[in-house]
Amino acid sequence: MSKKTAKKKSARRPSAKKIGFVGVGRMGANMARHLKDLNYNVTAVYDVYRPVAEELAEEIGATAYTKLADVTANADIIFTVVTNDAAMKKIFLGKKDSLLTDAAGTTFINCATLSPEIQKTVATAAKRRKASSIEACMASSISHARTGQLYLMVGADDDVFKKNKKLLEDISINLRHIGKIGKAAEVKALVNMVMNINTAGLAEGLGLAKALGHDLNMICEVFSQTGANSRVLETDAEDMIDRDHECWFSASHAAKDSGIAGGLARSKKLNLPLNAATKAQYDRMVELGIGELDKSGVAELTFPNRTGTKKKTARKRKTAAKKKTAAKKAASRKK
């Protein structure tokens, strides 16, 4: 399902339901702002970093709660946008505080890129509390969240999907119901696996071209007209060349998502060497302290005389110096 124009603010509330958000970083906060623009009743926000939640609450006229149970008590539909499986487990299955406290009748729309297993675990736990769950995996960026033009891959029971379809349409430009809970997470893992491989491959191609002395604008033009063309070429090539790695999708998230795909492959006894190599590159960015750069920052590991390549050269020199020192000591002992 597609919409050709962005949604406009309605004079009347699209729904009487109260909406909450848990996780109001770049994506969650902009989704909340967009729904507020459409006159949805956004009542409750929560984030582990309290100043972010308090600032957003003041901006959109909501309340920033310090307990997850209070979010559930003050919202009928709750969007969650958290960082990883561990964070998801904590907000739903935590012993001291949980979104599932008195959650009967609540609908949870879980938007983060997570493993299919945690999505199914949370959905089962919610069902036991007579609550509903939807996985709404996003293949879009911060700007799309703000304008309600997300690409959503949805996993949900048919009746739950139909009941919440209007709300999902209002935050998306493309909406696809993949199947039951867990299936959308599988597809999202595939999307990000291929995207990450393409990004790492482009960084290597441009890095080698730079080392060979080619004009990189010419290389990009040639790539665009040949089998080297890709969506990543359009979105990331200029940033790689200019070293402009403002974060839209972080390297640390890329590492996480490639790891999810790797786990799915292992469960089916498949070997995915390209995915493993790509994950290793993003893991290395994290190790170097540049994991919060955009995924385009993987070029820092492939372009000559950049962060990763400089450190690699320094390590080689240090290793060579150690070997030379050891050889001198050995020679002196023999004398």
The single residue listed with the structure tokens 């009746």 is 159
Q: What is the pLDDT of residue 3?
A: 42
* Tokens encoding 304: 């000559």
| Best CA proximity match to 70, nearest among 46, 48, 53 | 46
The residue ranges of every structural domain in the chain are 18-180, 187-312
Q: What is the pLDDT of residue 255?
A: 97
User: Residue 8: pLDDT band by 50, 70, 90 thresholds?
Assistant: low
| 279 vs 12, residue with greater confidence | 279
User: Residue 158: pLDDT band by 50, 70, 90 thresholds?
Assistant: very high
The average confidence (pLDDT) of the chain is: 92
Report CA-CA distances (Å) from 106 to 10, 215, 236.
Answer: 24, 56, 40
* For range 147-172, the mean pLDDT: 97
**Does the pLDDT value for residue 173 go beyond 80?**
yes
Q: Which residues of 123-150 are buried (b: 16+ CB within 10 A; e: fewer)?
A: bebbeebebbbbbbbbbbbbebbbbbbb
pLDDT above 70 coverage of the chain, percent: 89
* Tokens encoding 321: 């110096």
Q: What is the pLDDT of residue 274?
A: 98
* Domain covering 187-312, topology: N-(1-d-carboxylethyl)-l-norvaline Dehydrogenase; domain 2 (1.10.1040)
| 151 vs 317, residue with greater confidence | 151
Q: What is the pLDDT of residue 4?
A: 41
Rounded-to-integer distance, Cα 132 and Cα 78, Å: 10
| pLDDT single digits (tens) 256-308 | 999 999 999 999 999 999 999 999 999 999 999 999 999 999 999 999 999 88
| Best CA proximity match to 109, nearest among 19, 45, 172 | 19
Q: What is the pLDDT of residue 11?
A: 59
Terminal Cα-to-Cα distance of the chain (whole angstroms): 82
Least confident of 36-40, 206-210, 321-325: 321-325
Least confident of 24-38, 222-236, 310-324: 310-324
**Does the pLDDT value for residue 223 go beyond 90?**
yes
In whole angstroms, how large is the CA radius of gyration of the chain? 23
Report CA-CA distances (Å) from 3 to 7, 126, 150, 259.
Answer: 9, 32, 11, 33
Residue 19: its H or E element: strand 18-22
Q: What is the pLDDT of residue 43?
A: 97
| pLDDT single digits (tens) 47-90 | 999 999 999 999 999 999 999 999 999 999 999 999 999 999 99
The DSSP output letter for 144 is: H
Q: Tell me the one-letter amino acid at 298.
A: V
Residue 241: its H or E element: helix 231-242
Centre a 10 Å sphere on the Cβ of residue 187 and count the other Cβ atoms it contains.
Answer: 18
Residue 65: its H or E element: none
| pLDDT single digits (tens) 110-125 | 999 999 999 999 999 9
Report yes or no: 196 and 162 within 8 Å, Cβ to Cβ: no
Report yes or no: 40 and 15 within 8 Å, Cβ to Cβ: yes
Region 18-180: CATH code? 3.40.50.720
